[in-house]
Structure 1
Amino acid sequence: MRKWLFLFPLALAACTGSQEPPLPALLAAGGEGEVRFYRASDLQRGLASPVATWATPGLQDLAYLGREERLYLLFGDRLEAYDAAGFTESAVPQTLLASAYLPDCTGGYLRLGQNRLLVHCPGAEKAFLLPPDLGSLEEADLTGLEAPLRLALLPRGTLDLLAYMTPGALGFRPAQDPRGTPGLERFLDPPLAQGPFDLKADGSRGRLLGLGATLSETRIYALQGESLTGRRVLGDFPRPARLALDPVAGLAVLGQGFQVLEPRDSGLQEAFRTFSAGLVGVDAYLYLVAGNTLQVWDLFPSPPQRVASPLLGFSPKALAFLPVE
Structure 2
Amino acid sequence: MRHSKQLTYALGPLLALFLTACTGSQEPPLPALVAAGGQDQVRFYRAQDLQGGGVNPVATWSTPGLQDLAYSNAFQKLYLLFPDRVEAYDTTGFTADAAPQGTPSLASLPADCTGGHLRLGQGRLLAHCPATGRAFLLALSDLSALQEADLTGLPPGNGVRLALFPQGTLDLLGYLTPQALGYRPTLDPAGTPSLEKPLDPLPSQGPFDLQTDRGQGQLLGLAATTTEVRLYALKGDVLTSRKVLGDFPRPSHLALDPVGGGVVYGQGFQVLFPKDSGPQQPFETYSAGLVGQDGYLYLAQGTALEVYDLVPTPPLLVRSTPLGFNPTSLAFVPVE
User: Quick check: TM above 0.5?
Assistant: yes
Contact 1:298–1:306, Cα closer than 8 Å, also in 2:
yes
SS of residue in 1 equivalent to 2:227: coil
Comparing 38-47 and 140-149, the one that deviates more: 140-149
Q: Give 1:119's aligned residue.
A: 127
Structure 1 residues 202-259: Cα deviation after superposition (integer angstroms, max 9, x where no partner):
2332200000001221000100001000000111231110101111211111111111
Contact 1:116–1:130, Cα closer than 8 Å, also in 2:
yes
1:139-158 → structure 2 map (5 Å cutoff): 139-147=148-156, 148-158=159-169
Q: Give 1:199's aligned residue.
A: 210
Contact 1:164–1:171, Cα closer than 8 Å, also in 2:
yes
1:93-132 → structure 2 map (5 Å cutoff): 93-102=100-109, 103-132=111-140
Query: Structure 1: how far apart are the matches of 2:145 and 2:312?
Result: 45
Structure 1 residues 83-139: Cα deviation after superposition (integer angstroms, max 9, x where no partner):
101000011111123111112000000000001100000000000000021112100
1:135 to 119, 144, 151: 144
Query: Structure 1: how far apart are the matches of 2:216 and 2:205?
Result: 27
Q: Post-superposition, which runs of at least 4 consecutive aligned residues in structure 1 deviate over 2 A?
A: none
Q: Give 1:215's aligned residue.
A: 226
SS of residue in 1 equivalent to 2:322: coil
Q: Give 2:9's aligned residue.
A: none
Contact 1:279–1:288, Cα closer than 8 Å, also in 2:
yes
Query: Structure 2: how far apart are the matches of 1:226 and 1:104?
Result: 35
Question: What TM-score do the two structures reach when normalised by structure 1?
Answer: 0.95
Q: Give 1:8's aligned residue.
A: none
Q: Give 1:178's aligned residue.
A: 189
SS of residue in 1 equivalent to 2:50: helix
SS of residue in 2 equivalent to 1:96: coil
1:35 paired to 2:49: no
1:58 alignment partner AA:
G
1:48 to 49, 52, 55: 55
Query: Structure 2: how far apart are the matches of 1:278 and 1:237?
Result: 18
Q: Which runs of 5+ in 1 are unaligned?
A: 1-10
1:288 to 299, 305, 309: 299
1:270 alignment partner AA:
Q
Query: Structure 2: how far apart are the matches of 1:86 and 1:237?
Result: 44
1:301 paired to 2:309: no
Contact 1:70–1:83, Cα closer than 8 Å, also in 2:
yes
Contact 1:73–1:79, Cα closer than 8 Å, also in 2:
yes
Aligned CA-pair RMSD: 1.5
Query: Structure 1: how far apart are the matches of 2:255 and 2:220?
Result: 10
Q: 1:263 Cα shift?
A: 1.2
Contact 2:200–2:241, Cα closer than 8 Å, also in 1:
no
2:219 alignment partner AA:
L
Contact 1:80–1:96, Cα closer than 8 Å, also in 2:
no
Q: Give 1:261's aligned residue.
A: 272
Query: Structure 1: how far apart are the matches of 2:103 and 2:266?
Result: 33
Q: Which runs of 5+ in 2 are unaligned?
A: 1-17
1:306-325 → structure 2 map (5 Å cutoff): 306-325=317-336
| Greater gyration radius | 2
1:22 to 26, 29, 52: 29
2:98 to 91, 104, 114: 91
Q: 1:15 Cα shift?
A: 2.8
Q: 1:192 Cα shift?
A: 1.7
Structure 1 residues 157-195: Cα deviation after superposition (integer angstroms, max 9, x where no partner):
110000000010000000001111111000012322111
Structure 1 residues 55-82: Cα deviation after superposition (integer angstroms, max 9, x where no partner):
0010000011111111100001100011
1:51 alignment partner AA:
V
Q: Give 2:86's aligned residue.
A: 79
SS of residue in 2 equivalent to 1:59: coil
Contact 2:309–2:318, Cα closer than 8 Å, also in 1:
yes
Q: Give 1:187's aligned residue.
A: 198
Query: Structure 2: how far apart are the matches of 1:141 and 1:96?
Result: 31
Q: 1:21 Cα shift?
A: 2.1
Query: Structure 1: how far apart are the matches of 2:299 and 2:65?
Result: 22
Q: Give 2:173's aligned residue.
A: 162
Query: Structure 2: how far apart are the matches of 1:96 and 1:119?
Result: 21
Question: What TM-score do the two structures reach when normalised by structure 2?
Answer: 0.91
Between the two proteins, what is the percent identity of the paired residues?
65
